[in-house]
Each structure stands twice: as structure tokens, then as C-alpha cells.
């Protein structure tokens, strides 16, 4: 969304994202290994970052938040602070 008033780019380590996704899938009764999820996310990352049309990239005006060591609540609070600062709420 190039014209968004506020841009948020969420990231986390590959290992953390794979652990989170494996846990989510297993919670929904999928029988899946961490290794297969890890490899799948790694392949998707490579594809997303290197595709010719609309590659994934962080813009200079985006707020980058690394959620590797953050809970959902802490991530939400960081985003809320960014919004509050930008809109003086």
C-alpha cells in the first residue's frame, strides 16, 4: 500500500516463524514436522523476495518491527504506539 499513512513491516526470524506455524498447524490437527514447515517458509521467503513482479521489500518510510521475541500483545502495543505518535491520539 504505497499511499498508506503508516506502513508497518512485521518480521521475525525464520526459526521463530516456523515454530509458530508448526504450533498453529498442529493445534488444528495437522500432522506436520517442524522441518517441513521450516523448508516451506524458507522457499516462500526466497520466492517473495526475488520474484520479478512486485517483490517483497521494506520501504524507507516503513516501521520495521521484529517480533521474534514479542508476544502478540507486545506487538500490538508497539503498533499502537506508532499509530498514536503519528496521529497524536
Domain ranges for the chain: 7-87
Q: What is this structure's pTM?
A: 0.84
Contacts of 10 (CB under 8 A, 6+ apart): 65, 67, 75
DSSP assigned state of 62 = E
Instruction: Answer yes or no: is pLDDT of 89 > 70.
Output: no
Across the chain, mean pLDDT equals: 95
Q: What's the pLDDT at 14?
A: 98
Q: What's the pLDDT at 2?
A: 80
Query: Domain 7-87: which CATH class?
Result: alpha beta
Nine-digit cell at 64? 520495521
Q: Helices in 1-89 by DSSP H: which ranges?
A: 14-27, 34-50, 72-87
Amino acid at each position: 500500500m504505497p499511499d498508506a499513512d503508516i506502513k508497518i513491516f512485521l518480521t521475525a526470524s525464520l526459526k521463530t516463524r516456523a515454530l509458530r506455524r508448526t504450533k498453529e498447524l498442529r493445534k488444528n490437527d495437522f500432522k506436520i514436522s517442524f522441518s517441513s514447515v521450516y523448508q516451506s517458509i524458507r522457499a516462500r521467503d526466497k520466492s517473495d523476495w526475488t520474484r520479478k513482479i512486485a517483490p517483497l521489500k521494506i520501504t524507507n518510510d516503513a516501521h520495521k518491527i521484529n517480533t521474534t521475541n514479542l508476544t502478540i500483545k507486545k506487538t500490538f502495543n508497539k503498533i499502537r504506539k506508532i499509530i498514536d505518535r503519528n496521529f497524536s491520539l
